Amino acid sequence: MNHISPTLWQFLVKWMTNFALFPPEASKIAPQMDALYFFMVLVSLIGLTVVILLVTSFSILYSKGRHPVAEQIEGSTLLEATWTIIPLGLFLVMFVWGALIYFRVFTPPANAMNIYVVGKQWMWKAEHPGGQHEINSLHVPTGRAVQLTLISQDVFHSFSIPAFRVKREAIPGRYTTVWFEATTPGTYHLFCTQYCGTEHSHMIGDIVVLTPEDYKKWLAESTSGASLAQNGERLFASLSCSACHNTRPDARGPSLANVYGAKLPLSSGGTVTADDAYLREAILNPSQHITQGYAPIMPTYQGQLSEEGVIALVEYIKNLNSDYRIQQTLNTTELLPESEGKAPAATQTPAAKGSASQGMVKQ
Ligand code: HEC
Ligand SMILES: [Cu+2]
């Protein structure tokens, strides 16, 4: 719709924004969402007008003065078909249009940069692949698809960015995703839109959209020295995961290199795809799915790891010799210290050497 008349469109959006009826449009999907929204408002207004006109004209035309004796009117197939088919067509347009947008919003492109977001009473924590952390704010670049992988550490929350027209639930125990591409630099509202306890209304923050150059600067300034995958590697060593997951021939656990995205055969029959959700389950609830050819000896790490810890481990495993979503690690490696490859943790313990030899974060 916005293709038809950009001037009219801008006028409409500006007018709505100035009257605080509408947040600004700051993502690629926003004008598309709004077009559908305006279409629905328009159809409703036309419907309302038609009903009001008919009610008024009928009450005049068929008033007692003009028609003292009631008359039986038999049905008209043409009329009935018309008032069925036209609304049906309109509703189907809304349905198909809405479904197309829905699938767009919830299907991230494969090259999207992934940022993890953990919701907890009462704050939002963001974990960038480069190791940057933020609380109640999220910095993103313009012109790049950004995927959020959300999870809650306690109750249901909902991550909402009105200016982007996206919103997604953060659910305890399950990763959910949403994506967007920001278009306009600026600072926008972030809300939790699911009532989550007394301080729910404080669970707000800023979405800071930067140009790619400013974003690079921000990344460099906010780096914590280690990427998310490197933090994961440290945890992998300190939790002695590498005691079982290593490349020795007598290793008790499977090698985790290239496991991300792979189809794993299960001892119960069938296969499972090792995505983020599966890796999380494998760490917290290993007895749920046993990989074929291995004994159910892996201990559970439930209660020993925060969601951020799990995220770091998942990010580490994801990056083990994998070129999946190479974009996000390009981002990571840009920030790594010169000595990358011999990460500090890897040189501390023999166990960590095992894991490093499996292939650290790819270059
Ligand atoms: C006592 C040995 C042992 C330890 C310690 C251990 N694991 Fe495992 N792990 C296994 C075994 C055996 C399997 C395969 C059987 C299964 O699915 O449970 C496995 C499976 C997995 C899987 C599923 C992938 C696959 O190919 O089956 C992941 C992911 C994983 N472990 C991660 C970890 C992480 C992360 C740690 C440390 C926090 C860890 N493991 C600690 C033995 C271990
Ligand atoms: Cu909340």
Give me ligand 1 centre to Cα 297, in Å: 8
In a domain? residue 139: yes
Give a three-class secondary structure readout of 62-80: CCCCCCCCCCCCCCCHHHH
Q: Does an H or E element contain 160, and which?
A: strand 157-161
Structure tokens at 285: 């609830």
Q: Which of 240, 287, 298 to mutate to test ligand 1, by most ligand atoms within 8 A of the CB atom?
A: 298
Residues 98, 186, single domain; the answer is no
252 lines ligand 1 (CB under 6 A): yes
What is the domain count for the chain?
Answer: 3
Q: What is the pLDDT of residue 146?
A: 94
174-206 pLDDT, tens digit per residue, is: 999 999 999 999 999 999 999 999 999 999 999
Determine the Cα–Cα distance for residues 343 and 230; give it in Å rounded to an integer.
Answer: 7
Ligand nearest to the CA of 160: 2
Say yes or no: CB of residue 262 within 6 Å of ligand 1.
no
By alpha-carbon position, which residue is closest to atom 1 of ligand 1? 298
* 144 vs 287: CA distance, rounded Å: 39
Q: In whole angstroms, what separates CA 236 from the centre of its chain?
A: 26
Distance CA 286, CA 240 (A): 15
Minimal CA–CA distance to 131: which of 214, 220, 226?
226
Q: Which residue's CA is the nearest one to ligand 1's atom 38? A: 241
The pLDDT value recorded for residue 242 is: 80
Q: Do 239 and 352 have their domain in common?
A: yes
Residue 149 lies in a domain: yes
Distance in Å, CA 356 to ligand 1 centroid: 16
**Alpha helix segments (H runs only) across the chain:** 6-18, 29-61, 77-106, 212-222, 228-238, 276-284, 307-318, 326-333, 350-357
User: Which residue is closest in CA terms to ligand 1's atom 34?
Assistant: 241
Q: DSSP secondary structure string, 224-283? A: -SS-HHHHHHHHHHHTTGGGTSSSSTT-SS---TT-TT-EEEBTTSSEEE--HHHHHHHH
Residue 72 covered by a domain:
no
For ligand 1, atom 37, which residue shows the shortest CA distance? 241
Q: Do the beta carbons of residue 201 and residue 316 sit within 8 Å?
A: no
Query: What is residue 301's predicted lDDT score, i.e. its pLDDT?
Result: 85
User: Which residues in the chain come in under a pLDDT of 70?
Assistant: 1-4, 321-363
Ligand nearest to C-alpha 351:
1
Strand 205-210 versus strand 137-141 pairing type: parallel
| Distance, CA of 309 to CA of 232 (rounded, Å) | 7
- Of the residues 222, 251, 271, the one at which a domain ends: 222
Rounded to 5 degrees, φ, ψ at 144 are: -140, 135
pTM of the prediction? 0.78
Three-class DSSP category at 81: helix
Domain membership of residue 312 (yes or no) is yes
CA of 142 to the centre of ligand 2 (A): 26
Structural domain of 324: 228-357
* Same domain as 253, residue 213: no
248 and 352 inside one domain: yes
Say whether both 45 and 137 belong to one domain.
no
Is the same domain home to 294 and 347?
A: yes
